[in-house]
Amino acid sequence: MPMAVPLYYSAEMVRALPEDRKRYETVHGELLVTPARRRGRCTRLCCNASWSP
């Protein structure tokens, strides 16, 4: 059984990936995929915590 050849991702390959609200990055050629950040709720919590009447 033949061994799989490892695929190393370049910056161009990552930029060519679809815009699907996920965060794609490459570290030493390995593709890392994480969910997009949800800024709305965090921003509200930070603003509410720092606001005083």
What are the backbone angles phi and psi of residue 40, rounded to the nearest 5°? -60, -50
pLDDT in tens, 2-52: 777 778 999 999 999 988 889 999 999 999 999 877 665 555 555 555 555
Q: CB–CB of 31/11 below 8 Å?
A: no
> What is each CA distance from 3 to 6, 10, 16, 46, in whole angstroms?
9, 22, 27, 50
Domain boundaries, the chain: 11-50
The Cβ-side half-sphere exposure at 29, using a 13 Å CA radius, reads 3
Look at residue 40 in the predicted model and tell me its pLDDT: 56
Look at residue 8 in the predicted model and tell me its pLDDT: 92
Q: Is the pLDDT of residue 53 over 70?
A: no
